[in-house]
Amino acid sequence: MSSAPRSDNFRLRKIPRYDLILIGAGPCGLAAASEFKHAGLNYLHLESGQLAQTVYNFPTNIRLFSHPRYLEIGNVGFYPEPYEPPTREQYLEYLNKASSRLGLVVKQHSKVVGLTSNDKDHLVRYTKKRGKIGEACAPNIVVASGGYYAPQLLGIPGEDQPNVYHYFRSELPFHNERVLVVGGRNSAIEAVITLVEKKAEVIHSYRGARLPRKKIKPWLLPIFDKARKRGLIRTFYRTVPRSIHNKQVKLKSDGKKNTTIDVDRVFLLTGYGPDYATLKSASVPFNKRNQRPLFNPKTLETKKSGIFLCGTIVLKWQGEKASIDNTRGHGKIILNNLR
Ligand SMILES: Cc1cc2nc3c(=O)[nH]c(=O)nc-3n(C[C@H](O)[C@H](O)[C@H](O)COP(=O)(O)OP(=O)(O)OC[C@H]3O[C@@H](n4cnc5c(N)ncnc54)[C@H](O)[C@@H]3O)c2cc1C
């Protein structure tokens, strides 16, 4: 009898075995799935939320920045093609239709909570209904869990209160409400503009002395500037929230006196990043300097054999910031380098 620990004997334990397990069903995961399906692979596709959960989390009616042609998956045309970049709603509809057209099967609400390996296979553990845990193994794991999936938390008290949000929700009733928006990039500026339009009393906190204007969608800036000039936005720059208690937010000020403000809702739109928990549970080596997983850009394989990165989780691709446009073709590269 083998002396290997029980968890290493995936085959002996009759765990379902696939050619490949794909983690994450965002645009890039779906595009990769279409490649794997087309190649006739026996693969399992796990998604922690619903199909395209990250896009679903975008603010309602937000307009993406890419032309529809650069957002397509599996050669399914974006018809009727919007002339300008699609809204979140148009893109979600497209992704749903394209997935059906391509016959992609995604196991939704199945969050991967662990990844371990023996010398042949990797074992994935994922959540199932009623608190149960499912298991599956494969020689190849493709991690397409997104580069902008997890909100970057501030780690302050009150961040998890029900009136504190990490994604903007434009459908909420803001009329006569006092709303604090924290952040200085697109999500925050877009939220401020929408709140002004919805006649909320808007307070804007940003940690810098002035906005990083070059990093903001150019068509947003004139609208923002005009509203600010008209006194419709109360700004607290060089401040960061320190705590939130019910409807009171303490802002720590750089150089000036700290401030406490009364608000109805708070949007902490301070950026999104990857969740590396799955890669870390598999002991994938990370770069000590920038804390990013090490991988070969020619094959997309990490330093752990048979574990691949796919989509925006790579964060940078060919010298540019990773986006749907430049990383949705990762499935093809991975296909040529499978174990
Ligand atoms: C507000 C906002 C607006 C953006 N606008 C644009 C835009 O206009 N154009 C553009 O190109 N990019 C945009 N991006 C950036 C990025 O391209 C998108 O986030 C895009 O969705 C990334 O695609 P992806 O498939 O790599 O990852 P994601 O779409 O993030 O998909 C990852 C999927 O993995 C799932 N997942 C995560 N962890 C697990 C786990 N442990 N187990 C199972 N599943 C898991 C998630 O639920 C998610 O569905 C935007 C990002 C944000 C946050």
CA distance 135 to 107: 13
59 or 179, higher pLDDT = 179
Residue 72 Cβ < 6 Å to ligand 1? no
Dump pLDDT digits (tens) for 118-153.
888 999 999 998 899 999 999 999 999 999 999 999
Domains of the chain: 6-149+274-335 (3.50.50.60), 152-271 (3.50.50.60)
Residue 60 Cβ < 6 Å to ligand 1? no
Residue 11 has pLDDT above 90, yes or no: no
* Residue 36 Cα to ligand 1 middle (Å): 20
Dump pLDDT digits (tens) for 257-267.
889 999 999 99
- The residue-averaged pLDDT of 21-26 equals 98
Q: Which residues of 252-282 are buried (b: 16+ CB within 10 A; e: fewer)?
A: bbeeeeeeebebebbbbbbebebbbebbeeb
Look at residue 8 in the predicted model and tell me its pLDDT: 61
Of the chain, the percentage scoring pLDDT greater than 70 comes to 96
Look at residue 6 in the predicted model and tell me its pLDDT: 47
Residue 30 has pLDDT above 60, yes or no: yes
Residue 313 has pLDDT above 80, yes or no: yes
Residue 66 Cβ < 6 Å to ligand 1? yes
Q: Which amino acid is at 197?
A: E
Look at residue 82 in the predicted model and tell me its pLDDT: 66
Residue 325 Cβ < 6 Å to ligand 1? yes
Choice from 61, 145, 167 to test ligand 1 binding pocket (greatest atom count within 8 A of CB) = 145
* Residue 171 Cα to ligand 1 middle (Å): 21
Cα 258 to the chain's mean position, in Å?
A: 33
Instruction: Confirm if 270 and 239 have CB atoms less than 8 A apart.
Output: no
* Residue 312 Cα to ligand 1 middle (Å): 7
* Residue 274 Cα to ligand 1 middle (Å): 9
Look at residue 332 in the predicted model and tell me its pLDDT: 97
Look at residue 1 in the predicted model and tell me its pLDDT: 36
Residue 311 Cβ < 6 Å to ligand 1? yes
Look at residue 257 in the predicted model and tell me its pLDDT: 80
How does residue 10 score in pLDDT terms, banded at 50, 70 and 90?
low
- The residue-averaged pLDDT of 9-31 equals 90
Residue 2 has pLDDT above 50, yes or no: no
pTM value? 0.91
How does residue 5 score in pLDDT terms, banded at 50, 70 and 90?
very low
* Residue 56 Cα to ligand 1 middle (Å): 9
Dump pLDDT digits (tens) for 218-257.
989 999 999 999 999 999 999 999 999 999 999 999 877 8
Look at residue 265 in the predicted model and tell me its pLDDT: 97
* Residue 290 Cα to ligand 1 middle (Å): 21
Look at residue 271 in the predicted model and tell me its pLDDT: 92
How does residue 193 score in pLDDT terms, banded at 50, 70 and 90?
very high
Dump pLDDT digits (tens) for 97-111.
999 999 999 999 999
How does residue 112 score in pLDDT terms, banded at 50, 70 and 90?
very high
Look at residue 14 in the predicted model and tell me its pLDDT: 84
